[in-house]
Amino acid sequence: MLNSQGSIKKATTFVYLLIFITLIFLCYQLLTSSKFPINEVGIRGEYENINKSQVDLIKNKYIKRNFFAVNLQDTREAFKKLPWIRDVSIRRDWHKFGLLVEIESHKQIARWNNRGLVNSYGEIFHAAYDDNLPLFLGPDEFVDEMTVKYNQINKILKKELMQIGTISLSNRLSWEIYTNNNIRIFLGKEDNNFLRKLNALMENYQFILSQLKSRVEYVDLRYKDGFSVKKFNEKLYKINKEKKIPL
């Protein structure tokens, strides 16, 4: 009886070992066999600024193993290293034996301290871009807050068909902007209620122009209960221009 139980136990162990070896062999075949190639790589998303040759290079380098062996994480990290890609997801398409690559690219809204770009999420990234963009100047740790203020301020300026050309935040956390029509606006610190004052400025902008009978050079919103406006000196501007003095 004991010998019979021992024989059954040995037979069972042998069967399990055989199954284990078979599974390893099958897995090896799946991972190395040329019978399971990746038939198709589909790329989705907005990636107009991404160089197609760079994408093809990654496809050729990382997506050359078969359908089961391809390393999705390594491939994803390779795509994320491209300058204009913010995020990417990759999954297997079991119906076509292919891969689906979904790309989220950076959407640039401004330049950052003349050494990078800012996307719509308030993140700094580095990529080549030749077209004109607004300029953000400030400490790196405040890029997210500057993006929020940029959107809030532009919404107010839009009432007079203006927008930000440059927005800066000093080390003392004082805000200042240049508009796209060359008006300098000293906003001051955030606790100075400058958004409310800027809104009041835009509501009365046409009246201010009619009173000044001139363009506006700068506006100072740093006063407690109001703001001051300096009119543009056309005569001084012409003299400086003739003398080629920087304006």
Q: What is the pTM of this model?
A: 0.76
Residue 2 has a pLDDT of 45
Q: In the chain, which stretches have pLDDT less than 50?
A: 1-2, 25-27, 31, 33, 246-247
- Cα–Cα dist 100/83, whole Å: 20
pLDDT number for residue 52: 73
Residues 201 and 112 in one domain: yes
CATH of the domain at 199: 3.40.50.11690
Of 90, 105, 120, the one marking the end of a domain is 105
Indicate the residue among 88, 105, 122 that finishes a domain: 105
pLDDT value of residue 247 = 44
Residue 3 forms part of a structural domain: no
| Cα→Cα distances 247→51, 75, 234, 241, Å | 39, 51, 12, 8
On whether both 101 and 113 belong to a single domain, the answer is no
Q: Are residues 188 and 214 in the same domain?
A: yes
Backbone phi, then psi, for 177, in 5-degree steps?
Answer: -135, 155
Instruction: Specify the pLDDT at position 244.
Output: 54
What is the CA angle 180-182-185, rounded to 5? 95
> HEC profile for 132-186?
CCCEEECCHHHHHHHHHHHHHHHHHHHHHCCCEEEEEECCCCCEEEEECCCCEEE
Could you give the number of structural domains in the chain?
2
One domain for residues 116 and 237: yes
Residue 31 in any domain: the answer is no
Could you list the residue range(s) of the whole structural domain that residue 77 is in? 41-105
